[in-house]
Amino acid sequence: MNQDFSIVAGAVCFGLLLLQVPATFILLSRLFKGPFRQPPLSPLSPTPDLIGAVSVVVPTLNEAKRISPCLAGLSRQSYEVREIIIVDSYSQDATPDLVKEIQQKDPRFRLINDDPLPKDWVGRPWALHNGFLYSSEESEWILGIDADTQPQPGLVASLVKTAEAQGYDLVSLSPQFILQYPGEWWLQPALLMTLLYRFDPAGTNNQSPERVMANGQCFLCRRSVLAALGGYTSARSSFCDDVTLARYAATQGYKVGFLDGAKVIKVRMYEGMAQTWKEWGRSLDLKDAASFSQILGDLWLLLSVQALPLLIVFTYLLISPFFSVSAFSLVLLLRLNLFLVVIRFALLFAIAPSYDRTNSKSNWTFWLSPLADPLAFLRILLSSLNKPTQWRGRIYEKKQKT
């Protein structure tokens, strides 16, 4: 029986090696770019040539509990910001009141309501599109900012100067995340790692258009380019409109950048582990911006290098006392997965600056986040198989194309 088990185990190990080895080489080719990436943006002061260069657009829907830091942060931006347009989708809470309150102190704020949502649009790109249409034609840049962000002083000047210096037509930033509870600190880094494994690190050279990354929480685009693209119409039915629009822009020949903004913008996305699982995990698959073959390829990669390594190592530790298996394929498989586990834990130090630890006493679970990797893969898999029917309080028809 032990001999039969050894034969079966050897065959399984060989199959897993065929699955994991190519994925490991792809992962390493991406991670090796990390040391050569552009450093995080630093806050900068504006110069006279930037006066009134930017119109900021903030889409809102029942954001009263978290929009105040965003409004305060935008108000602290200097004269490079011409106007700050809050596009409210008829919130039922105090969101409009908070905007009107800060408007009394800063006349750059404007509160408008978007038109009724068309059937083929998702709420967020529709609000952003309305904000673009109502923005001043004198502004050279349009900056989309989410209500859950906390812009730091010098954000807008730094972003525009970087875009102009490096010739970007569209550029977005990865933020520094604010987490509070142990469950968040355990799950969220594992979900974030699914992006790092699938794409090049922020601040590296762009890949082919279909692999471009973007983040709509802080999304800057030349007004002339956005007009040429038809505003947000190309991303109207997408639940990851930022990536959809960025990839469409790249296919049209525009230069798109995705940079590290941990020093200039923070974000408090969700409250607790359950909300993180439900809301953020639902959009991380990026299926609205990818082909079916891309989705399958990403799932294969995540299964091979993120979900399986710890499971394989733990399985070996459980069965090794009961069975004597010394096949070469098993030894090679074990070493490969130990190598992947070491890489995964080492990456915790690489992503640590992406998290704000100043106000959380539960961040120790961050160092255990690799244990959540199988769950992170499961979340991406489930999201890839299902189309959202609810998002930010809106209900969408199941037959809607996304």
Look at residue 2 in the predicted model and tell me its pLDDT.
58
**Helix residue ranges per DSSP H, 146-181:** 155-166
Look at residue 394 in the predicted model and tell me its pLDDT.
73
Look at residue 204 in the predicted model and tell me its pLDDT.
82
Look at residue 346 in the predicted model and tell me its pLDDT.
97
Residues of the chain with pLDDT under 50: 1, 399-402
Whole-number Å distance between alpha carbons of 360 and 278: 22
Contact 106, 78 (CB under 8 A): no
Q: What angle do CA 188, 192, 198 make, to 5 degrees?
A: 155
77-130 confidence digits (pLDDT tens): 999 999 999 999 999 999 999 999 999 999 999 999 999 999 889 999 999 999
Contact 214, 172 (CB under 8 A): yes
Look at residue 326 in the predicted model and tell me its pLDDT.
61
Q: Residue 83 carries which DSSP code?
A: E
Strand partners, 170: 221, 256
This prediction's pTM: 0.92
Look at residue 331 in the predicted model and tell me its pLDDT.
86
Domains of the chain: 2-34+291-391 (no CATH), 48-189+200-283 (3.90.550.10)
The one-letter amino acid code at 87 reads V
Q: How many residues would you count in the chain?
A: 402
**Helix/strand/coil (H, E, C) string of 179-222?**
CCCHHHHHHHHHHHHHHHHHCCCCCCCCCCHHHCCCCCCEEEEE
- Provide the sign of the torsion angle of the four alpha carbons 94, 100, 102, 108, taken in this order: positive
Q: What angle do CA 192, 195, 200 make, to 5 degrees?
A: 130
Strand partners, 145: 218
For residue 366, report the phi and psi dihedrals to the nearest 5 degrees: -55, -40
Kindly state the helix (H) or strand (E) to which residue 328 belongs, with its residue range.
Answer: helix 328-351
